[in-house]
């Protein structure tokens, strides 16, 4: 039988189980000090195991404020206002195939997966290039589940009003990931390609990019999504007007931030393997620290760290 060990923490977990097995026998021994040292060792290993994680995109739940979770179970909101330590172990795993790598491409992929995975295909960034509706793609079964489904073209307020495309089940998650404070639906299409065509038609009028530094500095932007939606609706080609969404509901998103930074300074684990500072907020996929440093969690997908 072959056992695949993804990280050092999993190796420790296996050793811990074996040691616990022997612990039952040690309990029967009369060597008091030996038992005491042994169980202290188990406790140290358990604490190490629980603090070692592999980073991945934070999950945000739209409450007031957004509740952020790391690796599904760690509620990061509870860390805000406290000193946080992130120590890079020097180990990186591909977020797709799980093998050890030296560097990542496109948010956590190894180079072979970057070249072959459907999650890194060009149409992820440029949806107008999607060919799933023509039966073509890196993995047509994956394309059917993710690109031949309903998509939204939306407007959101990040550093400014921007246009974007996402799957029908990614609202409001997509807005939270990009640090938007407001979001509204613009069009609804049966596939990714058509949504991309609408986005392209609007990009000559409105940006599809976010100035992330400006987004992290403040939330006090006087942006009227309804006015912009009405304005852009007149720019739609007649063949695309049937996809327009009449629902004008605006989703408001508030983030858990004690204080906005004055000057943004990005920090990475490659250059700074040990980060230790007070966490004062979270927005988008960024941790904001009290010394104006910000840390992009999603960019470090696959990095193994000790979190305290």
This prediction has a pTM of 0.83
H-only helix segments in the chain:
8-26, 32-51, 111-116, 122-125, 140-146, 173-177, 192-203, 212-217, 225-233
Q: What is the pLDDT of residue 219?
A: 65
Task: Tell me the pLDDT of the chain averaged across its residues.
Answer: 88
pLDDT at 293 over 90: yes
What does the pLDDT look like over 263-283, one tens digit per residue?
999 999 999 999 999 999 999
What does the pLDDT look like over 54-85, one tens digit per residue?
999 999 999 999 999 998 889 999 999 999 99
Residue 135: exposure state from Cβ atoms within 10 A (0-12, 13-18, ≥19): exposed
Least trusted range by pLDDT, from 47-61, 176-190, 251-265, 273-287: 47-61
């Amino acid at each position: 039988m072959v056992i695949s060990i993804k990280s050092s923490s999993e190796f420790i977990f296996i050793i811990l189980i074996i040691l616990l097995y022997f612990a039952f026998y040690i309990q029967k021994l009369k060597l008091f000090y030996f038992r005491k040292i042994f169980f202290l060792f188990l406790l140290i290993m358990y604490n190490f195991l629980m603090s070692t994680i592999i980073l991945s995109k934070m999950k945000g739940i739209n409450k007031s404020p957004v509740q952020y979770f790391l690796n599904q179970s760690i509620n990061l909101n509870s860390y805000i206002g406290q000193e946080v330590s992130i120590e890079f172990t020097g180990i990186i795993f591909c977020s797709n195939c799980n093998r050890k790598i030296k560097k990542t491409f496109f948010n956590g992929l190894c180079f072979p997966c970057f070249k072959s995975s459907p999650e890194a295909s060009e149409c992820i960034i440029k949806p107008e290039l999607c060919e799933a509706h023509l039966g073509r793609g890196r993995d047509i079964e994956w394309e059917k589940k993710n690109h031949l489904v309903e998509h939204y073209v939306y407007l959101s307020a990040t550093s400014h009003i921007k246009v974007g495309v996402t799957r029908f089940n990614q609202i409001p998650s997509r807005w939270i990931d990009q640090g938007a404070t407001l979001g509204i639906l613009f069009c609804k299409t049966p596939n990714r390609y058509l949504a991309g065509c609408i986005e392209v038609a609007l990009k000559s009028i409105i940006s599809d990019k976010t100035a992330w530094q400006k987004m992290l500095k403040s939330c006090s932007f006087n942006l009227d999504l309804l006015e912009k939606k009405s304005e852009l609706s007149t720019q739609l080609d007649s063949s695309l007007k049937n996809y327009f969404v009449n629902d004008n509901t605006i989703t408001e998103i508030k983030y858990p931030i004690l204080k906005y930074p004055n000057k943004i300074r990005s920090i990475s684990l490659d250059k700074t393997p040990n980060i230790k500072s007070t966490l004062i907020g979270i927005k988008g996929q960024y941790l904001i620290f009290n010394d104006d440093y910000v840390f992009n969690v999603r960019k470090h997908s696959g990095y193994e760290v000790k979190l305290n």
